[in-house]
Amino acid sequence: MQVLIAGAGKTARELLRNLARTWTVTLIDLEKEYLDNFEDSPQVAHLIHGDASSRLILDKAQLEEHDFVVAVTNNDAVNLEVCRLARKTYTADIIALVNDSLNIPRFQELKVRTICSTAMVGRAIELFLDSPRLNITTIADGAGEVMEVEVMDKAPAAGKQLHELNPRDWLIAAIHRDEELIIPHGEAYIMGGDKLTIVGHSDLYRTIAHYFSKSEPCFPLEYGQQVLMPVNEKCSDFEKIAKEALYLVRSTRARGLTILASESTLQSLDKYKTLLENHTPVTFQTTTKAPQEKTIQITKTQSIGCVVFAPQPLAPLARFLGFPTIIALAHRLSCPMLISRSKTPYKKILVPFSATDSSGLALETAIDLAQQFNALVDIILVIDPVVHQGTGSQEWAEEALTRAREIGQMHHFSIGEVTKEGNVIREIISHTETYDLLIIGSTTHGGSLLNPHIGEYLVQDVPCSVLVVT
Protein backbone atom coordinates (compact mmCIF):
# COMPACT_ATOMS: atom_id res chain seq x y z
CA MET A 1 0.00 0.00 0.00
CA GLN A 2 1.20 3.50 -0.85
CA VAL A 3 0.70 6.52 1.36
CA LEU A 4 1.59 10.17 0.75
CA ILE A 5 2.41 12.13 3.92
CA ALA A 6 2.46 15.94 3.87
CA GLY A 7 4.56 17.11 6.81
CA ALA A 8 7.78 15.58 8.10
CA GLY A 9 7.45 16.59 11.73
CA LYS A 10 6.91 14.71 14.98
CA THR A 11 3.58 13.23 13.93
CA ALA A 12 5.06 11.70 10.79
CA ARG A 13 8.02 10.38 12.76
CA GLU A 14 5.71 8.71 15.29
CA LEU A 15 3.56 7.28 12.50
CA LEU A 16 6.51 5.69 10.70
CA ARG A 17 7.76 4.13 13.92
CA ASN A 18 4.54 2.13 14.05
CA LEU A 19 3.85 1.62 10.33
CA ALA A 20 4.67 -1.81 8.93
CA ARG A 21 7.57 -2.08 6.50
CA THR A 22 5.21 -3.29 3.80
CA TRP A 23 4.04 0.30 3.30
CA THR A 24 5.57 2.54 0.64
CA VAL A 25 5.76 6.15 1.80
CA THR A 26 6.19 9.43 -0.07
CA LEU A 27 7.09 12.26 2.33
CA ILE A 28 6.79 15.97 1.47
CA ASP A 29 8.00 18.94 3.50
CA LEU A 30 9.08 22.51 2.89
CA GLU A 31 11.98 22.15 5.33
CA LYS A 32 14.81 20.02 3.95
CA GLU A 33 16.35 19.36 7.36
CA TYR A 34 13.10 17.70 8.43
CA LEU A 35 13.24 15.39 5.43
CA ASP A 36 16.85 14.48 6.23
CA ASN A 37 15.64 12.80 9.45
CA PHE A 38 13.83 10.19 7.35
CA GLU A 39 16.61 9.12 4.98
CA ASP A 40 17.09 5.85 6.82
CA SER A 41 13.38 5.04 7.28
CA PRO A 42 12.76 1.69 5.57
CA GLN A 43 9.22 2.60 4.45
CA VAL A 44 10.16 5.92 2.79
CA ALA A 45 10.59 5.55 -0.95
CA HIS A 46 10.50 9.24 -1.92
CA LEU A 47 11.50 12.43 -0.09
CA ILE A 48 10.19 15.52 -1.86
CA HIS A 49 11.33 19.00 -0.86
CA GLY A 50 8.58 21.55 -1.46
CA ASP A 51 5.23 23.02 -0.49
CA ALA A 52 2.74 20.17 -0.14
CA SER A 53 -0.16 22.51 -0.93
CA SER A 54 1.29 23.16 -4.41
CA ARG A 55 -0.34 21.36 -7.32
CA LEU A 56 3.07 21.08 -9.00
CA ILE A 57 4.64 19.40 -5.97
CA LEU A 58 1.76 16.95 -5.62
CA ASP A 59 2.02 16.13 -9.33
CA LYS A 60 5.75 15.50 -8.84
CA ALA A 61 4.86 13.17 -5.98
CA GLN A 62 2.36 11.37 -8.27
CA LEU A 63 -0.49 11.95 -5.88
CA GLU A 64 -2.95 9.89 -7.90
CA GLU A 65 -0.80 6.77 -7.47
CA HIS A 66 -1.27 6.67 -3.70
CA ASP A 67 -3.91 4.75 -1.79
CA PHE A 68 -3.92 7.11 1.20
CA VAL A 69 -3.13 10.76 1.83
CA VAL A 70 -2.11 12.00 5.28
CA ALA A 71 -1.86 15.76 5.91
CA VAL A 72 -0.01 16.42 9.18
CA THR A 73 1.73 19.78 8.84
CA ASN A 74 1.36 22.34 11.62
CA ASN A 75 -0.55 24.65 9.25
CA ASP A 76 -4.28 24.01 8.81
CA ALA A 77 -4.40 26.00 5.57
CA VAL A 78 -1.73 23.75 4.05
CA ASN A 79 -3.43 20.59 5.31
CA LEU A 80 -6.78 21.74 3.96
CA GLU A 81 -5.36 22.49 0.51
CA VAL A 82 -3.61 19.10 0.39
CA CYS A 83 -6.94 17.46 1.20
CA ARG A 84 -8.79 19.54 -1.38
CA LEU A 85 -6.36 18.63 -4.16
CA ALA A 86 -6.31 15.00 -3.07
CA ARG A 87 -10.09 14.85 -3.12
CA LYS A 88 -10.12 16.23 -6.69
CA THR A 89 -8.02 13.25 -7.77
CA TYR A 90 -10.68 10.95 -6.27
CA THR A 91 -8.34 9.65 -3.59
CA ALA A 92 -10.76 7.76 -1.35
CA ASP A 93 -8.93 7.69 1.98
CA ILE A 94 -7.70 10.99 3.41
CA ILE A 95 -6.91 11.91 6.99
CA ALA A 96 -5.72 15.26 8.32
CA LEU A 97 -4.34 16.78 11.48
CA VAL A 98 -6.39 19.84 12.47
CA ASN A 99 -4.54 22.22 14.77
CA ASP A 100 -7.51 24.51 15.52
CA SER A 101 -10.84 22.80 16.26
CA LEU A 102 -12.73 25.72 14.68
CA ASN A 103 -11.40 24.53 11.31
CA ILE A 104 -12.81 21.00 11.60
CA PRO A 105 -16.04 21.77 9.64
CA ARG A 106 -14.00 22.89 6.61
CA PHE A 107 -12.28 19.50 6.49
CA GLN A 108 -15.53 17.66 7.08
CA GLU A 109 -17.02 19.36 4.01
CA LEU A 110 -14.39 17.47 2.00
CA LYS A 111 -15.34 14.21 3.77
CA VAL A 112 -11.89 14.04 5.34
CA ARG A 113 -11.32 12.19 8.57
CA THR A 114 -9.84 14.57 11.12
CA ILE A 115 -7.75 14.37 14.26
CA CYS A 116 -7.58 17.48 16.43
CA SER A 117 -4.99 16.85 19.11
CA THR A 118 -5.47 20.23 20.78
CA ALA A 119 -9.21 19.61 21.19
CA MET A 120 -8.60 16.10 22.53
CA VAL A 121 -6.01 17.32 25.03
CA GLY A 122 -8.15 20.29 26.06
CA ARG A 123 -11.19 18.07 26.59
CA ALA A 124 -9.18 15.55 28.59
CA ILE A 125 -7.83 18.26 30.90
CA GLU A 126 -11.29 19.86 31.25
CA LEU A 127 -12.79 16.53 32.29
CA PHE A 128 -9.96 15.89 34.73
CA LEU A 129 -10.46 19.29 36.37
CA ASP A 130 -14.21 18.68 36.58
CA SER A 131 -14.04 15.06 37.80
CA PRO A 132 -10.46 14.02 38.66
CA ARG A 133 -11.56 10.51 39.68
CA LEU A 134 -12.67 9.81 36.12
CA ASN A 135 -10.27 8.76 33.37
CA ILE A 136 -12.02 9.70 30.13
CA THR A 137 -11.19 9.14 26.45
CA THR A 138 -13.32 10.69 23.71
CA ILE A 139 -14.57 8.55 20.82
CA ALA A 140 -16.76 8.98 17.72
CA ASP A 141 -15.37 12.45 16.93
CA GLY A 142 -16.23 13.63 20.43
CA ALA A 143 -19.83 12.37 20.43
CA GLY A 144 -19.05 9.64 22.95
CA GLU A 145 -16.61 8.85 25.71
CA VAL A 146 -15.03 5.80 27.29
CA MET A 147 -14.76 6.40 31.04
CA GLU A 148 -12.78 4.57 33.67
CA VAL A 149 -13.92 5.23 37.22
CA GLU A 150 -13.24 3.68 40.60
CA VAL A 151 -16.39 3.02 42.63
CA MET A 152 -16.37 4.62 46.07
CA ASP A 153 -17.54 2.47 48.98
CA LYS A 154 -20.51 4.73 49.72
CA ALA A 155 -21.36 5.62 46.12
CA PRO A 156 -25.05 5.28 45.16
CA ALA A 157 -24.26 2.37 42.83
CA ALA A 158 -22.11 0.39 45.28
CA GLY A 159 -23.72 -2.92 46.25
CA LYS A 160 -26.25 -2.84 43.41
CA GLN A 161 -26.69 -5.34 40.60
CA LEU A 162 -26.12 -4.11 37.09
CA HIS A 163 -29.78 -4.54 36.10
CA GLU A 164 -30.81 -2.27 38.97
CA LEU A 165 -28.92 0.62 37.40
CA ASN A 166 -30.93 0.23 34.18
CA PRO A 167 -28.72 2.60 32.17
CA ARG A 168 -30.21 4.01 28.98
CA ASP A 169 -27.46 6.13 27.42
CA TRP A 170 -24.41 4.33 28.80
CA LEU A 171 -23.25 0.82 29.60
CA ILE A 172 -20.64 -0.86 31.77
CA ALA A 173 -18.33 -2.73 29.42
CA ALA A 174 -15.95 -4.21 32.00
CA ILE A 175 -15.27 -4.48 35.73
CA HIS A 176 -11.70 -4.69 37.05
CA ARG A 177 -11.80 -6.28 40.51
CA ASP A 178 -8.89 -7.77 42.49
CA GLU A 179 -6.68 -8.13 39.40
CA GLU A 180 -9.53 -9.90 37.54
CA LEU A 181 -11.23 -8.50 34.44
CA ILE A 182 -14.97 -9.24 34.46
CA ILE A 183 -17.26 -8.85 31.45
CA PRO A 184 -20.47 -8.05 33.35
CA HIS A 185 -24.04 -9.31 32.91
CA GLY A 186 -27.28 -8.10 34.43
CA GLU A 187 -26.82 -10.07 37.67
CA ALA A 188 -23.28 -8.80 38.30
CA TYR A 189 -22.78 -6.66 41.41
CA ILE A 190 -20.99 -3.30 41.52
CA MET A 191 -18.73 -3.21 44.56
CA GLY A 192 -16.79 -0.46 46.28
CA GLY A 193 -13.23 -0.47 44.93
CA ASP A 194 -14.25 -1.79 41.51
CA LYS A 195 -12.74 -0.06 38.51
CA LEU A 196 -15.37 0.24 35.79
CA THR A 197 -15.00 0.82 32.07
CA ILE A 198 -18.08 2.72 30.87
CA VAL A 199 -19.12 3.75 27.36
CA GLY A 200 -21.61 6.59 26.98
CA HIS A 201 -22.52 9.91 25.43
CA SER A 202 -20.10 12.79 25.96
CA ASP A 203 -22.42 14.78 28.26
CA LEU A 204 -22.94 12.06 30.87
CA TYR A 205 -19.76 12.33 32.91
CA ARG A 206 -21.43 14.33 35.72
CA THR A 207 -24.12 11.66 36.02
CA ILE A 208 -21.47 8.93 36.03
CA ALA A 209 -19.58 10.80 38.73
CA HIS A 210 -22.74 11.00 40.85
CA TYR A 211 -23.53 7.30 40.49
CA PHE A 212 -20.09 5.88 41.17
CA SER A 213 -17.99 8.54 42.87
CA LYS A 214 -20.02 11.20 44.61
CA SER A 215 -21.33 9.91 47.90
CA GLU A 216 -22.05 13.31 49.44
CA PRO A 217 -23.85 16.41 48.15
CA CYS A 218 -21.41 18.98 46.85
CA PHE A 219 -23.29 21.83 45.13
CA PRO A 220 -21.92 24.29 44.11
CA LEU A 221 -18.34 22.97 44.35
CA GLU A 222 -18.63 21.01 41.10
CA TYR A 223 -18.83 24.41 39.40
CA GLY A 224 -16.82 26.63 41.77
CA GLN A 225 -16.29 27.71 45.35
CA GLN A 226 -17.86 31.17 45.51
CA VAL A 227 -21.40 32.49 45.19
CA LEU A 228 -21.38 35.64 43.05
CA MET A 229 -23.95 38.42 43.47
CA PRO A 230 -23.83 41.20 40.85
CA VAL A 231 -25.46 44.46 41.95
CA ASN A 232 -26.43 47.41 39.78
CA GLU A 233 -27.45 50.88 40.84
CA LYS A 234 -31.15 50.08 40.28
CA CYS A 235 -31.19 47.19 42.74
CA SER A 236 -33.87 48.22 45.27
CA ASP A 237 -34.07 44.88 47.10
CA PHE A 238 -30.39 44.43 47.90
CA GLU A 239 -30.93 43.32 51.49
CA LYS A 240 -33.46 40.62 50.58
CA ILE A 241 -31.36 39.26 47.72
CA ALA A 242 -28.19 39.37 49.83
CA LYS A 243 -29.93 37.35 52.54
CA GLU A 244 -30.82 34.65 50.01
CA ALA A 245 -27.25 34.63 48.69
CA LEU A 246 -25.95 34.31 52.27
CA TYR A 247 -28.43 31.51 52.91
CA LEU A 248 -27.09 29.68 49.86
CA VAL A 249 -23.52 30.07 51.09
CA ARG A 250 -24.24 29.00 54.66
CA SER A 251 -26.42 26.03 53.70
CA THR A 252 -24.21 24.52 50.98
CA ARG A 253 -20.55 23.68 50.44
CA ALA A 254 -19.85 27.16 49.03
CA ARG A 255 -16.76 28.86 50.51
CA GLY A 256 -17.93 32.47 50.48
CA LEU A 257 -19.84 35.31 48.83
CA THR A 258 -18.48 37.74 46.24
CA ILE A 259 -20.39 40.96 45.56
CA LEU A 260 -19.77 42.72 42.25
CA ALA A 261 -20.73 46.34 41.67
CA SER A 262 -19.46 49.68 40.47
CA GLU A 263 -17.43 51.82 42.89
CA SER A 264 -20.33 54.20 43.48
CA THR A 265 -22.78 51.36 44.07
CA LEU A 266 -20.47 49.71 46.59
CA GLN A 267 -20.21 52.99 48.49
CA SER A 268 -23.99 53.07 48.80
CA LEU A 269 -23.85 49.57 50.31
CA ASP A 270 -21.48 50.51 53.16
CA LYS A 271 -24.26 50.17 55.72
CA TYR A 272 -24.67 46.49 54.80
CA LYS A 273 -21.00 45.50 54.86
CA THR A 274 -20.76 44.79 58.56
CA LEU A 275 -23.96 42.76 58.47
CA LEU A 276 -22.64 40.69 55.54
CA GLU A 277 -19.17 40.13 56.92
CA ASN A 278 -20.54 38.93 60.27
CA HIS A 279 -22.33 36.06 58.56
CA THR A 280 -19.87 34.61 56.04
CA PRO A 281 -16.60 35.38 54.23
CA VAL A 282 -17.47 38.22 51.83
CA THR A 283 -15.31 39.86 49.18
CA PHE A 284 -16.17 42.92 47.12
CA GLN A 285 -15.15 43.44 43.50
CA THR A 286 -15.55 46.65 41.57
CA THR A 287 -16.16 46.91 37.85
CA THR A 288 -16.29 49.67 35.27
CA LYS A 289 -18.01 47.36 32.79
CA ALA A 290 -21.70 46.60 32.68
CA PRO A 291 -22.24 44.19 35.61
CA GLN A 292 -23.77 41.56 33.34
CA GLU A 293 -20.78 41.36 30.98
CA LYS A 294 -18.34 41.41 33.89
CA THR A 295 -20.31 38.64 35.55
CA ILE A 296 -19.99 36.44 32.46
CA GLN A 297 -16.25 37.07 32.38
CA ILE A 298 -15.79 36.30 36.08
CA THR A 299 -17.61 32.96 35.84
CA LYS A 300 -15.18 31.92 33.13
CA THR A 301 -12.03 33.03 34.94
CA GLN A 302 -12.76 32.62 38.67
CA SER A 303 -14.07 29.81 40.87
CA ILE A 304 -17.77 30.71 40.82
CA GLY A 305 -20.29 28.01 41.70
CA CYS A 306 -23.51 30.00 41.35
CA VAL A 307 -24.60 33.53 40.39
CA VAL A 308 -27.47 35.19 42.28
CA PHE A 309 -29.45 37.80 40.34
CA ALA A 310 -32.36 40.03 41.22
CA PRO A 311 -35.47 39.38 39.08
CA GLN A 312 -35.16 41.13 35.73
CA PRO A 313 -38.57 41.72 34.13
CA LEU A 314 -38.75 41.61 30.35
CA ALA A 315 -39.68 44.69 28.38
CA PRO A 316 -43.24 44.32 27.01
CA LEU A 317 -42.06 44.07 23.40
CA ALA A 318 -39.42 41.43 24.17
CA ARG A 319 -41.99 39.45 26.11
CA PHE A 320 -44.50 39.65 23.26
CA LEU A 321 -41.94 38.51 20.70
CA GLY A 322 -40.90 35.58 22.87
CA PHE A 323 -37.17 36.28 22.79
CA PRO A 324 -35.52 34.91 25.97
CA THR A 325 -33.09 37.17 27.83
CA ILE A 326 -32.59 35.55 31.25
CA ILE A 327 -32.19 32.07 29.76
CA ALA A 328 -29.83 33.47 27.12
CA LEU A 329 -27.72 34.94 29.93
CA ALA A 330 -27.76 31.62 31.79
CA HIS A 331 -26.24 29.93 28.75
CA ARG A 332 -23.39 32.44 28.70
CA LEU A 333 -22.43 31.74 32.31
CA SER A 334 -20.13 28.89 33.30
CA CYS A 335 -22.22 27.97 36.35
CA PRO A 336 -25.88 27.84 37.43
CA MET A 337 -27.91 31.03 37.86
CA LEU A 338 -30.30 31.74 40.75
CA ILE A 339 -33.08 34.30 40.30
CA SER A 340 -33.80 35.42 43.85
CA ARG A 341 -37.31 36.01 45.16
CA SER A 342 -36.37 35.71 48.83
CA LYS A 343 -38.15 32.40 49.37
CA THR A 344 -35.80 31.04 52.02
CA PRO A 345 -35.47 28.65 53.69
CA TYR A 346 -35.78 26.11 50.88
CA LYS A 347 -38.08 23.42 52.25
CA LYS A 348 -39.86 22.38 49.06
CA ILE A 349 -38.15 22.17 45.66
CA LEU A 350 -39.97 21.61 42.37
CA VAL A 351 -38.40 20.31 39.13
CA PRO A 352 -40.24 20.31 35.78
CA PHE A 353 -39.30 16.91 34.35
CA SER A 354 -39.48 15.56 30.82
CA ALA A 355 -36.88 12.73 30.76
CA THR A 356 -34.44 14.92 28.81
CA ASP A 357 -30.79 15.14 29.83
CA SER A 358 -31.28 18.75 30.95
CA SER A 359 -34.24 17.88 33.20
CA GLY A 360 -32.22 14.97 34.57
CA LEU A 361 -29.41 17.36 35.47
CA ALA A 362 -31.94 19.67 37.13
CA LEU A 363 -33.31 16.77 39.18
CA GLU A 364 -29.86 15.65 40.28
CA THR A 365 -29.05 19.22 41.30
CA ALA A 366 -32.32 19.37 43.25
CA ILE A 367 -31.43 16.17 45.11
CA ASP A 368 -27.96 17.49 45.89
CA LEU A 369 -29.41 20.73 47.30
CA ALA A 370 -32.25 18.98 49.13
CA GLN A 371 -29.74 16.83 51.00
CA GLN A 372 -28.00 20.00 52.15
CA PHE A 373 -31.19 21.96 52.92
CA ASN A 374 -33.08 18.97 54.36
CA ALA A 375 -35.77 19.75 51.80
CA LEU A 376 -38.38 17.81 49.82
CA VAL A 377 -38.20 17.41 46.06
CA ASP A 378 -41.15 16.98 43.71
CA ILE A 379 -41.13 16.60 39.97
CA ILE A 380 -43.95 17.92 37.81
CA LEU A 381 -44.89 16.42 34.44
CA VAL A 382 -47.30 18.34 32.28
CA ILE A 383 -48.97 16.55 29.37
CA ASP A 384 -49.86 19.17 26.78
CA PRO A 385 -52.79 17.85 24.67
CA VAL A 386 -51.55 19.86 21.71
CA VAL A 387 -48.09 18.26 21.79
CA HIS A 388 -48.89 14.81 23.20
CA GLN A 389 -51.84 13.30 21.39
CA GLY A 390 -53.48 9.90 21.79
CA THR A 391 -51.81 7.00 23.60
CA GLY A 392 -48.38 8.56 23.10
CA SER A 393 -49.03 10.98 25.96
CA GLN A 394 -49.37 8.19 28.51
CA GLU A 395 -46.29 6.40 27.18
CA TRP A 396 -44.25 9.60 27.39
CA ALA A 397 -45.41 10.25 30.96
CA GLU A 398 -44.58 6.70 32.07
CA GLU A 399 -41.14 6.92 30.48
CA ALA A 400 -40.44 10.23 32.21
CA LEU A 401 -41.64 8.94 35.58
CA THR A 402 -39.53 5.82 35.22
CA ARG A 403 -36.45 7.89 34.46
CA ALA A 404 -37.07 10.20 37.44
CA ARG A 405 -37.54 7.21 39.75
CA GLU A 406 -34.27 5.73 38.53
CA ILE A 407 -32.43 8.93 39.40
CA GLY A 408 -34.07 8.99 42.84
CA GLN A 409 -33.18 5.37 43.47
CA MET A 410 -29.57 5.89 42.47
CA HIS A 411 -29.28 8.65 45.07
CA HIS A 412 -31.40 6.84 47.69
CA PHE A 413 -33.73 9.83 47.67
CA SER A 414 -37.52 9.80 47.67
CA ILE A 415 -39.05 12.05 45.00
CA GLY A 416 -42.65 13.24 44.93
CA GLU A 417 -44.54 13.10 41.63
CA VAL A 418 -47.10 15.52 40.23
CA THR A 419 -48.77 14.95 36.85
CA LYS A 420 -50.85 17.65 35.17
CA GLU A 421 -52.57 18.08 31.83
CA GLY A 422 -52.83 21.38 30.00
CA ASN A 423 -50.59 24.25 28.96
CA VAL A 424 -47.08 23.54 30.26
CA ILE A 425 -46.23 27.09 31.30
CA ARG A 426 -49.58 27.80 32.93
CA GLU A 427 -49.72 24.54 34.86
CA ILE A 428 -46.20 24.80 36.25
CA ILE A 429 -46.62 28.44 37.29
CA SER A 430 -49.89 27.72 39.07
CA HIS A 431 -48.33 24.77 40.91
CA THR A 432 -45.32 26.69 42.27
CA GLU A 433 -47.35 28.68 44.80
CA THR A 434 -46.41 26.32 47.62
CA TYR A 435 -42.74 25.87 46.66
CA ASP A 436 -39.63 27.79 47.69
CA LEU A 437 -37.35 26.91 44.76
CA LEU A 438 -37.92 25.87 41.16
CA ILE A 439 -34.96 24.21 39.39
CA ILE A 440 -35.06 24.06 35.60
CA GLY A 441 -32.61 22.57 33.13
CA SER A 442 -32.07 24.24 29.78
CA THR A 443 -30.23 23.14 26.65
CA THR A 444 -31.25 25.98 24.35
CA HIS A 445 -31.83 29.71 24.63
CA GLY A 446 -33.85 30.11 21.44
CA GLY A 447 -37.46 31.26 21.28
CA SER A 448 -39.95 33.08 19.11
CA LEU A 449 -43.50 34.40 18.99
CA LEU A 450 -44.81 31.08 17.66
CA ASN A 451 -42.52 28.93 19.80
CA PRO A 452 -41.96 30.69 23.14
CA HIS A 453 -39.19 29.48 25.43
CA ILE A 454 -40.85 27.70 28.34
CA GLY A 455 -37.93 28.31 30.69
CA GLU A 456 -38.00 32.06 30.09
CA TYR A 457 -41.66 32.34 31.02
CA LEU A 458 -41.11 30.25 34.13
CA VAL A 459 -38.17 32.39 35.24
CA GLN A 460 -40.22 35.53 34.72
CA ASP A 461 -43.55 34.49 36.21
CA VAL A 462 -43.19 31.93 38.99
CA PRO A 463 -43.55 33.34 42.53
CA CYS A 464 -40.59 31.43 43.98
CA SER A 465 -36.84 31.60 43.44
CA VAL A 466 -35.55 29.85 40.31
CA LEU A 467 -32.26 28.02 39.75
CA VAL A 468 -31.28 27.52 36.09
CA VAL A 469 -28.74 24.82 35.19
CA THR A 470 -27.43 24.42 31.65
The span from the CA of 185 to the CA of 349, in Å, is 37
The span from the CA of 252 to the CA of 223, in Å, is 13
Residue 325 binned pLDDT confidence (cut-offs 50, 70, 90)? confident
Inform me whether the pLDDT recorded for 3 exceeds 70: yes
**Four-residue CA torsion sign, 209, 210, 211, 214:** positive
Q: In this structure, what DSSP letter does residue 154 have?
A: T
Name the 3-class secondary structure at 195. strand
Residue 346 binned pLDDT confidence (cut-offs 50, 70, 90)? very high
Inform me whether the pLDDT recorded for 9 exceeds 90: yes
Higher per-residue pLDDT: 449 or 128: 128
Within 10 A of 106 (CB to CB), how many other CB atoms are there? 17
Sorted by sequence, the CB contacts under 8 Å of residue 97 that are 6+ apart come out as 7, 11, 71, 72, 73, 79, 114, 115, 116, 117
Mean pLDDT of the chain: 86
68 and 5 Cβ atoms separated by less than 8 Å? no
Query: What are the chain's domains?
Result: 2-115 (3.40.50.720), 120-212 (3.30.70.1450), 338-469 (3.40.50.620)
For 259, phi then psi, to 5°, come to -110, 130
Inform me whether the pLDDT recorded for 451 exceeds 60: no
User: What pLDDT sits at residue 448?
Assistant: 46
DSSP 203-239: T-HHHHHHHHT--S--TTTTT-SEEEEE--TT-S-HH
What's the pTM?
0.58
Whole-Å CA distances, 446 to 307, 322, 361, 452, 453: 21, 9, 19, 8, 7
Q: Which of 268, 278, 264, 277 is nearest to 238 (CA)?
A: 268
Helices 270-277 and 238-251: angle between axes, nearest 10 degrees = 20
User: What pLDDT sits at residue 313?
Assistant: 74
- H/E element holding 169? none
Residue 272 binned pLDDT confidence (cut-offs 50, 70, 90)? confident
User: What pLDDT sits at residue 164?
Assistant: 85
Residue range 12-33, pLDDT digits in tens = 999 999 898 899 999 999 999 9
Average pLDDT for 333-362: 94
- What number of CA atoms fall less than 13 Å from residue 207's CA on the CB side? 25
The span from the CA of 42 to the CA of 51, in Å, is 23
Q: In this structure, what DSSP letter does residue 189 have?
A: B
* Longest CA span, the chain: 80
User: What pLDDT sits at residue 357?
Assistant: 85
Residue range 240-250, pLDDT digits in tens = 899 999 999 99
For 4, phi then psi, to 5°, come to -100, 125
